[in-house]
Amino acid sequence: MKHFFRHIHREIWHTHLFDYTFILLAAGMFVYATRYFMGYRQMQFYAVLAFTSLYILWGVYHHIVTRSFRLRVLLEYMLIGFMVLFFSLTLIFP
């Protein structure tokens, strides 16, 4: 378990700090945008769509940089992104 936390610490703080900071800021902006556009369903839809697209592109970029990009990784990011899109849209458009 100690090795796991050491690896996570090195991965985030020393190697890919910019990548993880970028996606966390994007997620924060997404949450802010959905709250800001409360009542404007079309704008919320665009915010969800933009964040989902950004998340998939970020995942592809991150794995290309780390040289661990595979088709399976792309499919995983697409599946998670589309699940977020689906569940967000079911909350926006009940």
Q: What is the pLDDT of residues 55-78, one digit of tens each?
A: 999 999 999 998 999 999 999 999
- The DSSP 8-state label assigned to residue 94 in this structure reads -
72-80, Cβ contacts within 8 angstroms, sequence gap of 24 or more = 80/55
What predicted TM-score, i.e. pTM, was given to this entire model?
0.83
Number of DSSP helices (H) and strands (E) in the chain, helices first: 4, 0
**Tally of domains within the chain:** 1
- The alpha carbons of the chain give a radius of gyration, in whole angstroms, of 15
Q: Are 40 and 92 in contact (CB under 8 A)?
A: no
At residue 14, does pLDDT exceed 80? Answer: no
User: Whole domain around residue 38: which residue ranges?
Assistant: 2-92
